[in-house]
Structure formats: structure tokens, C-alpha cells
Structure 1
Amino acid sequence: MQPSPLRAAVLAVLVSVAPLPAMQAPARTPSTASTTSVPPRAVRRDIPLTNAIRKAMAAGTRDSTGRPGTRYWQLRTDYAIDVSLDPASARLTGKARITLHNSSPDALASIGLRLDPNHFLGNAPHAAPWTPAEVTDGMVISRMTVNGKAVNVAGAVVGGAEGARAIQTQQQSAAAAAAENTLLNARSTNARVRLGTPIAAGARAVLEVEWSHKLPGGPGTGHRMTQRWADSLFQPTQWYPRVAVYDDLRGWDSELYLGPSEFYNNFGSFDVNIDVPAGWIVSGTGVLQNPNDVLTAKARAQLTKVTQSDDITTIVGPEEVGPGQATATSTTGRLTWRFHADTVNDFAWATARKFVWQATRATIPGKGAVPVHMVYLPGRANLYAKAGPVTRHALEFYSKLWFPYQFPQLTLQDGPSSGMEYPMVINSNVGAADHETGHMWWPMVVGNNETWYGWMDEGFNQYMNILSDADAEGKPPVLDGEGQKYGGISGNEAEPPMMWNANYAGPQYYGFTTYSKTPLMLSALGGIVGDSAVQRAHREWATTWMFKHPSPWDYMFFMNKALGRDLGWFWYSWLFTTESVDHRIAKVTPMGIRTRVLVAHDGQMPAPVVLDVTFAPAGAAIRPMKNAVMLNATTARVTVPVEVWFDGRRQHAVDLMFGSRPIESVTLDPQRRFPDRNPADNRWTRK
């Protein structure tokens, strides 16, 4: 998801070089480390384990290698959905057949359901500043069965004739089935079906649901809060009853849908039939299965050209509107578009009366050409003029950086939510095309829990966007300076740690903690092990967890192994605290052929001591020194491992033994990779 304009403004302030007044560094307290034998603080070096990860490790589903455990499992859910759109009432009416494969070792006494349209009920909780565009009647479930046995859904319907009919039908069905199964919390985004007969471990169950809901329109704030423009363009998202994730960490995912935080879904297949008025173009997750039924001969012919070149091919032009021009004709006035997608974790779509449809291609390493479709309103063509090439670059670049793009196509969809992602679909124009395309790697393949740990989704994406932007400009990426920025933010009371549940991270710092802090963290990690090593290890982790559900512990443990470092101290400081390094050059003392640099560490986050030493342009030969490399003829970089801080000391003396050549300056953290409240005291210059 692309940050909203409000969130983007907040992020711009938070990551600016000049900190806000409330974030100004406090006056330094003189260190007493040199006068006492008791260390003033201990450096925590392990990775904290919660009850959830301890339970999973004990069960053998996760372990300290960071790879899936020998007993790892996850549910699979397969969907067959028929849905119909009535533009006049803005209402979807659907029925779904969901096959739940219980791969867990547990007998499931209930089925968790995600009913996100209930977010638009007038009394539904939501996070500021996400404001629904319209109050609706939420998701109205009129019928439900599990393995053919009725579910009591009487509490799920609303008033009026429709509600009365649904209640009467359900009462009759429930009486026949002795009300064995019951739908609970039907008016919440987090509902549950209590089962009379549990689903045995290794068994499967078939859940059938009939429902309807109105797609909200109007001036909502935040992504997904508006899903239509009047009665001519619809952008349904989170539009069907979804079976929640049941995992080895917490069982059923019980988080409410509050707005900003996103999703945690099962992988499975989707066969979706979408019924709309003839003449309306439909796009969505998956591959169109019946082009002969819904497309004109001209459109079908144009589609065959898409993967033959990088040119933009027009499938349906702005002047082609209505049945017989934009689509095939229909004797009933309606057409059904059939889509299939395999091994995806969601399904989104869009439809409009006057979509322009264009396409180009991206060439994926080891895979070949895949189509990149764009559907948009004619008056918004300027927003899509460069969207194809930008998306092509993103698909090709990220395929080389991580692993090849896994899906058969990608579609950009116009609409009110212009910065959101789903499998094979991005609701975006050129503005967020690179960012949203990045989400095809996480969470669409590497299925992170975005609701709890948004930094593993948005944060990883923000980091790789830096790399992609630089590559698109033909320049090397600049990660120097990123890590240091956090020093001006650390200590703000509104900031939660990154391991805090992102669903409750607060309106101001959801954006920073979820989006912006991860690039700063990975910049710092690159300052320790090198950026290429970070990206190599991350690539190996991502490939290992394709189409699975990694936790933060899996990431931390895997990165430790892949980098060959015990980085518990690093992960603890960055993910579990809001501390900073806050180091400085306290004193430089020339001592003949030796120069002693006293580095003070006033923060709680440890970091290596990295010094750039600049010598006079002429003089005696510069002698080689342990832990030092020459960057050029007059500059050496000295690195002292982070372990010097582990015993609790606050100061460390670095003796520079380069000979008698005069030293002109010493710079601490020259690449500006480590968070520092006051970078001005990181440089010493000979008077």
C-alpha cells in the first residue's frame, strides 16, 4: 500500500534531517565509566522470544535456523465464487463455496471469518485518520452451510423485507439441522462459525455462503475506504467472506480490520465468475478464462500482440464503449467474466462502464514475457502514459533482486484507491506503480502477517524501492545517511517499537514504524556487513519462505545464519526498542606516532566504531594498521567491532598507529549508518 497524502506528509517530517523541536537531543551527561568499576548498563544480546514463538519452536514448526521447521504446516483455502454487480444500487450479491484444507495437527472447533465490509457499519471501530466513505449495512449473510449442514446466521441479517426473508429461511434451515452450527460476531470484521462437529486434523470442510453488501462511495479518507465512483466505476476489495488464517503461532487470527493495517491471508486457488452489465470491462486477479464470451474479436486479436514487444497495445480504446464495441454483445444485457488464479492469497477486481484497456509486457528472467495490463478512465490517460514502462522496470528489477515474478500477469486498475495491492493486481497509476508492484513479492508470495508486522511488508518494500529508483535512473543506490536519520526520531513518546502490533501503533507512528524505519534499519545493517550481503541474505530468506508465512523470528534467525553473525543485539535494539546509538568523538590526543581517539557512547543501542582518518597530503609513509583499510592515498577507514560495548563501557579508546604522517581529521560513522542524536560531534579537525 502506498502511503496516503496525509501519511506521506507525516513521514516527510519524521525522516527529515532536521528533527522536530520535541525530538531535540537532551544535554549530554558526563560519563562516569572511567571512575567506577560497575558498568552503567548491560547490552542485551539475545532475541526476545514471546510465548507464541516458544510454542511454535517446541512443536517443531519453527526453529533457530529461520527456516520452516520439520513440522511446519499451514491451511489452504480454495474459493469458487459467483458474484453479481448492480450498478444502480452499488450492491454486490454473491455466493461462495470455500474448501478449507485443515493441514494443522488440531481439530478445528470453529472457523474464523474475515467480514471486512462490516467496517462500513456505523458502529464499527476504525483507526484514525481512516474514515469510511459511507455508512452501509455491512456484509449481509443470508445463508451458510458447513459440509451441507446449516449454520444459524439469524444474527447476521438486518431489517427490512430482505432481512425478514433471510431470517425466516434461516430459521427453517436451522430447525431442520438442529442449529448445530452457529455464526458468531456476524456484524464484526472478525466473525466465527462455531461448529457442532470439529474439522479433524488432516481433513477438509466445505463452507458455503450467500451474502450481499453495498460498495461504499463518497469522500472517504484512507485506502480502501472508497470503492466506487458514483455508479460508473467500482473497485471491490475485501469483498467476499474470507476464511481467516489459522497458524502455529496464535491459532485463529483474531485481529479486527481497523483500516490502516492490512492483511494476513491463506494461500489457495480462486475461480471467480463476475456478472456485470454488457459493455463493462472487468479486470482482476487471475487469468480470464472465457475471452470468446466477453471480448470482441478485435480485442482478442490485440491481446495476442501484447507479449511480442515492449510497445503499448490498445485492447479497447476510449472511443469503444458499450456492447459490441468494448465487449461482446449479450441477449440478456449482462456478461459473466470468469477468472482463475492458483496459489494466491486474495482476489480483487475492478469494473467500469468506460474503461480504456491497454497492455504491454515485462520480460522475467528465466520465465519470459508476461502481460502488464492497464485499465483506466479516458480522462485520466495522463496518469497512465508512463505506468507501463515503470511497472515493467519494477517487475524485471525485483525479479533479478529477489526471485522471478511468480504470477502469469499483472494489472493496474484505476479507481478511488490509487495505492493498494492484491495478487496480480495493483490499484494504482504511475505514481505508486513501482511500490505496489514490489508487493507482489511480499505479502503476495512471502506471506508476512501485515496486520501485526507491517514493517515486514511495507518496510521491506520501501527499502527495495530505493534500489529500484536508483536502477531506473542508471545510478548506484545511496543508502548512506539513512540509518543516521533515526537518531533525530528516537525518544519520541508516540513511537512504538517495530515489534508492537501495527494494528494499534497509533495514527502518527503507524506510517513511520511500518514504512520508514525498516530502510533505516537495513541501512545500519549494511553499514555492519555490507549492503550486498544484506540483499543476498534477504534473497535467500525470501526464496525459502515463498508461499509460506514467516514470522519476524524466522527472519532474524535466518539472517543471522546467512550473514554468519550473531546479530541478536542488533535485532533487539532496532525491533524491540526505540533507542539510538548516540555516539561522539569525546577527545583526540596526538601522542607522537600514535593518536588516541576517545569515542563516547551515550545511547543504549550499540554499534561498531567506524572512523575515517584523513592524513596530510604529504609526509612520512602511512603505515598499515590492523582493522584499517586505505580508501585512497590519504584516507584510511578504521573499524572496531561492536563487541567493545558489550561489557557495559561508555567510552572506548582507539589508538591510531599509522606512523608520523600528521592526521588532519577524524570522522566517526563516515557513512552515517547509525542513529545519532547529534551528528555534529562526530568529527574532529586539527586546529
Structure 2
Amino acid sequence: MLIFQNNAQIYIFIKNLISMKYYKLPIYFLTLLFSITSFSQLDSNQDEFNDFLYRRGNTFRTASGLPGQNYFQNVPNYEIEVQLDDKTHTITGQIEIEYTNNSPHDLDFIWLYLEQNRFTENSRGTLTTPIGGNRYVGDTDKGMKISNFSAKAHGETSKNYRISDTRMQVFLEKPLKANGGKATINMNFEYEIPIDGMDRMGRLKTQNGWIYALAQWFPQVAVYDDVVGWNVEPYLGAGEFYYDYGSFDVKITAPYDHIVVSSGTLQNPKDVLSSTVYERYKKAKESNETVYLIKPDEIKDMSLRAQQSGTLTWHYEIENSRDVAFGSSKAFIWDAAKINLPSGRTAIAQSAYPIESNGQDAWSRSTEYSKASVEHYSNMWYEYPYNSAVNVAADIGGMEYPGLNFCRYTSKGASLWGVTDHEFGHNWFPMIVGSNERRYAWMDEGFNTFINYYSTLNFNNGEYPARLNKPRNLVSWFKSDRREGIDTYPDVANLRNLGMIAYYKPALGLLMLREYILGPDRFDYAFKSYIKTWAFKHPQPTDFFNHMENYAGENLNWFWKNWFYGTDNIDLGIESVRQVEANTYDLTFVNEGGIPMPVKYEITYADNSTEVLELPVEIWQRGNSWRHRLKTEQKIIKVEIDPTKILPDVNFGNDTWPVNLYKD
């Protein structure tokens, strides 16, 4: 059978007929042929169901969504000693990076990030910030100074490097050998800590002293992968971070009266804690209730410090992590409690916050929130891998790092729960599942927003509202001419759209997959497998798509293609309900949007009983109207599509028959 993809092909076919002396065919036959083939094309939704050609597997990433036989990751291990001066607000550090090249390629150089260079007058991030500013405005008189640099590989030492904006290119005397070659990079670094660190780090002055929130604070190796080679996008603002996994051995020297909390496990608690605080620390690690280490009325009590002058060095270690951050202040209230994990292992939840944040409607519940969040995600999806989870109050809306968050010090109640839960959720995406935040914000923000929904439903019998299941409240955005696709890079996206395309639209996509398309059993099996498979690895979007399809057993190409790539909308409707025989009805459904969907619909009968039925997505493969014959001995008085209103359907008016009875 001849199949024409478009009218141009039909024209060529007819032209060839004529050239082959079929011109004597009656003109009405050719006209009929043209009409039939054109109609066939218009009546097909083939394009909406076509495969993504670039989803095919290779030796690095398989078509089944698993790492391939040649998948690799390079490994940076860090030893850092840093000194915090609260008089000059400066960081001075020494770093040694042992870098292992597991790739199949020799490397002539190694790229690092110096992300404190974002805070200079002529950085790309500064120069691309609108005059009116945005969330990512930062100080512009800072930047990082590098000294005493050396890089050694295969017995040869190099002193050569080049700094370009927020990137540093380290040149090697000999190429770093593939499949296990090792290089060692050493340098000193120094900078003044910005007050405004783009809502991700910085310092806050409180009545009892400065709070230092330190992130993006040391030179860090960029990722070399099988997809683009070196990932060297500059740090501009909206795009976050992408790092390899390694170990961090960090020694932080701070004034004696500071409390220092960090990603990782405190290695020397007896050296930095007074005997009283140490006993409280041990008690907290065994307590399901919050235990004060430094009480609100003890902030200025120096007898609770390990020494009365000078400095103290806090030693932290974390394994299999992509980053490390810390908070330091003499103004901290400090409390903690035990986290119970599914394997029987325990961890410690901690909160550090100033007196301005104190109160049972505020940060005094932070550790309760932190413990509940980590325990929930560990039980539902994948066990938390670290020994500590710290929430630090700062002048930051909310920002995540492995095992440590910075959250707004003025947050209270539902707001504090929401930001705490969201930032701890990021330990799963992207700290465990290490996607590229700088390119694919939706793979961490969207996935995290999705799991936050279930955590909020679960917390304290639903104490706070979980709003993700109200998608029709967002219809005005879905109808906006200025909307963008989920696949838009965060640094390119209109910031007014970023909340939707990075957070809510991908989260709604996962919600539809779980609650509407696949069902919880199939979705959870596939999603848990995806997390376990790509834990501490670097999945791409296609790895997620392929994995979910293979493990859920469903071709979801039509969904990925239309929801994650594009700006079309969902609009399912009921065109008519006709009784054609005594016990037979014809129901005509229509797809008036650009995204096909299965049709779940609820029938209400004359006796007010109801029944939920479903038609598969394949009904739309041949057109946008489908007539379904339903046999029933009862009289139908109402039909409603998507009775639980999971779909962000942009047209409420055609959801029900005989009239739209849906109320927001």
C-alpha cells in the first residue's frame, strides 16, 4: 500500500503517473486519489507517536537505560585545609586533588571550576545580568586568587594554567593516560566571602555575629564524560552544578567561638566540643526527639566552647560525594536528633540557626522536619547514604549540597517545612542521581518537586498542604504565549518561566505517569530501579526515558516527546453520548490538544453508582476523534473525563457530559 507523508509526495506521485503516460486516467480519478491520500494524512497522528531517533543505545549508555559496558566516570579526591577569618571575612585555603582518568582517552589538560569568579565586575554572569537585577544578582568586587600552583602526572610537574571567567584549564607536561592514569593538582586559594552570593552562599549579620554560608568555595574539577567531553559551561546564575563523585577530607579552621557544621561526618568531636556539648551530641545521635547542643540562652556562654581563645580546626570527611559545603558562626543555636534508616543504620539530623530564627513556629522544628524528610525518602525511594543531614539558617531562599542545606532564616511553619523538605529531597536528585543541573534543571528540580509532594502528604498526617495535585490552577501558564519547553536550558530560559519548566511541569509529568498513565506499582518499580541504577552516576535525559520504558514495560515515546520537548497542551473532551440501542451507548471522545493521553473517565448511572473506565492512548494514533461503544443495563446520566483531575487539561468546558460540572 502506498503511504504519503505529505502533499508534496502526492504531487510527485501524480506527476510521475502523467510522465508514465497514465495521463489518460480520468481527471476525477486523480482528484479522488489526491483527496483520499490527503485525508489519510490529516487523519493520522503518526508524528506524535514517532520515536526519538537519538534514543538509541551505544556502548556507553544502553537502549534499556542502563550504563553500557564502556561507561566511565573520572574520580577526583580532595584534601582541603581552609582558614576562616571573621575579621576580614576571608577564606584562605590549600587544596590537593588526586584525579583519576578512567576514560578511554588520554587527556592533555584538566578543567576546573573557580566559581567564586562569578563575583567580579566583568564575569560573564555579571555582564549577562539585567540592569534591573534578578534572583542571581551577586557581589561584583570579589573573585578568587590562586597561588603556589602545580600539577603532576606521570612524573612530570607543570606550572601552567589558564583562568577564563569561572573556569581554570590545567595544562599537563605529559598527557594523562586513559584507563586509570592519575594526576595530582595542588594550589592555594583565597577570596573575600561575598555578602550576596546569588542566593546560594554568602554571609548574614545577626545580633550575635555573622553567619557564613560557604559553597562554591574551592577549586573543583569539571566533569569529563562520554556525551560532550569536558563540561565547561560557565557559571552564570540560573544553571546550577555538575560534578564527579569522589572523597572529601576537609579541615576547617575557624575562631574558637564558632560552631562549624559541614557536609560529611565530624571526625574529631572530642577536640572541638566541650565535654558538655559532646555528651549532648552523643545523646542526640540516639534520640528520636530533638536535643539541644547549644540552647538559645547559651549562645554567648563560652564555657560551652572547647577552648577560650584562638582557633579550632573542625575535621569532616564525606565519601562518594559530588560536593561539600559548610556553615560557621558564633551565633548558632545548635540542635540534633537521630535519623532511622531502613537498613537499621542511623544518621544524625542537625540544625544551626540564630536567635532571630528561634521559635516553635519556626526553626525550633527544623530538625524534626529534616529527620522526617530524610526518613521518608529513604523508605520510599533509596536509602540516604550519608551520616549527617544539616539544615543551616542563612540569608538564602534555599540551596542544597550533599548532606547540608542553606534555608531562609526567616522561614516559618509551612514555608520552613517546604524549603527544608525540598532541599533535603535534592540529596536524591542530583546528589545521589548525579544529573547535569547546568543543562537539565528539570532532572533535579522537577524530580525533587515530585517526590516532595508525597513527603508532604506523609508528614505529620498531612499537617501542611501538598499542592502538586491541583494542576488546573496552573492552566493560565499553560495557555501563555510566552511559555517555554522543559528542555530549555536554565541559563537561556526566561526567569519567569523557570519555576514552571524546571520544577512544576516536569513534576506534573511524573505525577501523571504514576497516578494516571502507569499506576503506582509499575511506576515505583521503574523509578526505584532508575535511582538505584544511576546512583552516584551521570544519567542523561534519554537514560531516564529508556529506563522507565524498559522497566515499566510501556512505550512512552508519545509522552516524552510531547510533554518534555515542546509547548503543546492536553485537552481531552467528550463530544457526545448517544444511546443507540436499549443497552448500548456510543461515547465520542475528542483530543483537541497537541498531547495524546489515555482517557480515564467516570460513568455515573441513574442510581448514582459510578464506574471508572479507561481507553488506551493508542486510540489517538489514527485521528483526534474516537467513538467507543459501551454496553450497560443501566441508564447513563453523566460522563466525566479524569475524575480526579490529575491532568493539567487546559479546557474545563468539555470534560463532562451533559455539562461541565467540574469546579476548581
TM-score, length of structure 2 as denominator length: 0.85
In 1, distance between residues paired with 2:642 and 2:262? 48
Q: Which residue of 2 aligns with 1:189?
A: 166
CA gap of 1:478–1:584, structure 2 versus 1, over 3 A, is farther
Letter of the 2:458 partner, please give it.
D
Flag the 1:80–1:465 CA change in 2: closer, same or farther, 3 A: same
How far apart, CA to CA, are the structure 2 residues paired with 1:130 and 1:149?
45
Question: What secondary structure is seen at the aligned counterpart in 1 of 2:104?
Answer: coil
Q: Write out per-residue CA displacement over residues 131-184 of structure 1, whole angstroms, 9 at most, x where no aligned residue.
A: 434222301112311118999xxxxxxxxxxxxxxxxxxxxxxxxx7xx55322
Matched, 1:541 2:516: no
Residues of 2 paired with 1:236 and 1:150: CA distance? 35
How far does residue 224 in structure 1 lie from its aligned partner after superposition?
A: 1.5
1:283 corresponds to 2:261:
yes
In structure 1, what is the equivalent of residue 625 of structure 2? Answer: 651
Q: Is structure 2 residue 237 aligned with structure 1 residue 259? A: yes
Name structure 2 gaps, 5 residues minimum.
1-34, 410-415
Length, aligned pairs only:
603
- 1:281–1:326 CA contact under 8 A, matched in 2: no
1:214-613 mapped onto 2 (5 Å cutoff)? 214-217=192-195, 222-224=198-200, 226-229=202-205, 232-321=210-299, 324-329=302-307, 333-382=310-359, 383-428=362-407, 430-431=416-417, 432-474=419-461, 482=470, 488-490=476-478, 492-525=480-513, 526-592=515-581, 593-613=583-603
In the TM superposition, what is the alpha-carbon distance from 1:480 to its structure 2 partner? 8.8
Contact 1:358/1:374 (CA < 8 Å) preserved in 2?
Answer: yes
| Map 1:659-670 → 2, pairs under 5 A | 659=633, 661-670=634-643
The residue matched to 2:70 in structure 1 has which SS?
coil
Which consecutive aligned stretches of 4+ in structure 1 deviate over 4 angstroms post-superposition?
A: 32-35, 148-151, 321-324, 475-488
1:190·1:256 contact (CA, 8 Å) conserved in 2? yes
Please say if residues 362 and 371 of structure 1, whose CA atoms lie closer than 8 Å, have aligned partners that are also in contact. Answer: yes
Q: Distance in 1 between matches of 2:218 and 2:470?
A: 41
- Please name the residue that 2:52 is paired with: 48
- Which of 599, 606, 621 is the equivalent residue of 1:616? 606
Distance 1:35 1:285 in 2: 63
The SS at the match of 1:654 is: strand
Q: Deviations over 1:158-215 (max 9, x none)?
A: xxxxxxxxxxxxxxxxxxx7xx55322x251133223332111121100112111111
- Residues 104-137 of structure 1: CA distance to partner in whole angstroms, max 9, x if unpaired? 1111111111111011101223356134342223
Structure 1 residue 554: Cα displacement: 1.0
- C-alpha contact (below 8 Å) 1:229/1:415 kept by paired residues: no
Contact 2:142 2:193 in 1 (8 A): no
- The percent of aligned pairs where both chains have the same amino acid is 29
Equivalent positions of 1:86-235 (< 5 A) are 86-126=85-125, 129-147=134-152, 182-184=160-162, 186-201=163-178, 202-217=180-195, 222-224=198-200, 226-229=202-205, 232-235=210-213
Look up the SS of the partner of 2:150 in the other structure: strand
Task: Give the counterpart letter for 1:466 in structure 2.
Answer: Y
Cα distance in 1 for residues equivalent to 2:574 and 2:568: 19
Give the letter for the 2:293 counterpart: I
Q: Provide closer, same or farther for how the CA distance between residues 438 and 686 of structure 1 changes in structure 2, counting only shifts above 3 A.
A: closer
Contact 2:526 2:551 (C-alpha < 8 Å) held by counterparts: yes
Indicate conservation of the 8 Å contact 1:217/1:229, yes or no.
no
Distance in 2, Cα, partners of 1:377 & 1:652? 62
SS at 1:36 equivalent? helix
CA distance in 1 between partners of 2:269 and 2:387 (Å): 16
Say if 2:295 and 2:333, in contact at 8 Å, map to a contact too.
yes
In 2: Cα distance, 1:33 partner to 1:375 partner: 72
Query: Do 1:347 and 1:422's aligned partners in 2 also have CA atoms closer than 8 Å?
Result: yes
Unaligned runs of 5+ in 1: 1-31, 152-176, 618-632
- Which segment drifts farther, 251-260 or 495-504? 495-504
Q: Distance in 2 between matches of 1:310 and 1:506?
A: 44
RMSD: 2.7
Query: 1:168 corresponds to which residue?
Result: none
State the secondary structure of the residue aligned to 1:502. coil
Cα distance change, pair 670–324 in 1 and its aligned pair in 2 (3 A): closer
Distance 2:594 2:459 in 1: 38
Q: Is the 8 A contact 2:136 2:199 kept in 1?
A: no
Query: Could you list the per-position Cα deviations for residues 294-346 of structure 1 after superposition, in whole angstroms to 9, with x for gaps in the alignment?
Result: 21111111111113222221212344456952421166x11111111111110
**What is the DSSP-based 3-state SS (H/G/I as helix, E as strand, rest coil) of the residue aligned with 1:441?**
helix
- Measured after TM superposition, the shift of residue 414 of structure 1 is 1.8
Shift, 1:456, TM fit: 1.3
Distance in 1 (alpha carbons) for counterparts of 2:302 and 2:541 = 52
Determine the C-alpha separation between the residues in 2 that align with 1:486 and 1:39: 31
* Residue of structure 2 equivalent to 1:20: none
Q: Quick one: which amino acid aligns to residue 619 of structure 2? A: V
Question: Any idea what SS the aligned residue of 2:105 has?
Answer: coil
Following superposition, the deviation at residue 640 of structure 1 comes to 1.4
From the superposition, tell whether residues 148 and 35 of structure 1 become closer, same or farther in structure 2 (CA, over 3 Å).
closer
